[in-house]
Structure 1
């Protein structure tokens, strides 16, 4: 993630946004039937992400890939030992799917964008004040 270079950071965020399923997204489901999904109103309410039972205690997230839902664990990237190319554990370090990447980075991207917007707004307001002062001298 490029934090020192605002243009680079905006380019990274823009690439994730463009690769992800179109928004806006909304949560839908039914607690009585214990079904919850994240969907987009695009194409008649396409499911972006849902969950299925995974053993007795877990939920298995799934993501849309070209109209079919695939389990996130099938897209998982695992931690590997430095001394081996084999998976040393089933420790997931990432999910290789654009929507998963978008969700993962949203919590960092949105505050950064808001802070950047505040900076730009402050710069604009300062310039407006300088312009008003300069125009007052004419």
Structure 2
């Protein structure tokens, strides 16, 4: 990959208890930061998204957690649910957040397709390339790979 971005895969991580922190990082190399949020003024910083196009929603209401019931969304719901005993973040339940974290996978898959050197065959005839493209798109859509 010749892009200048941080190599993927990426994911949303952090901790929603104590001093909350949300960040985008690699899932390899010791979680190298891609995007963080810095405090600005007296209010804490966190990303906001428009999951349904009806105004911005704080990420704290969209967080998914590493442990416990996988259907739990947001800090308030996690604190009410006994199965979520740690507030370690595994993702943000929003299409835009999923697309952001999947962007290096999508870029690499597209790069493989565009630079395919398979002779007369199409890149889509190569099962490895097709599977990587499918997995990247599934990640962006929040579906199982």
- Normalised by the length of structure 2, the TM-score is 0.41
Higher helix share: 1
Higher strand share: 1
Answer 1 or 2: higher relative contact order, Cα 8 Å, separation at least 6. 2
Q: Larger C-alpha radius of gyration, 1 or 2?
A: 1
- Normalised by the length of structure 1, the TM-score is 0.43
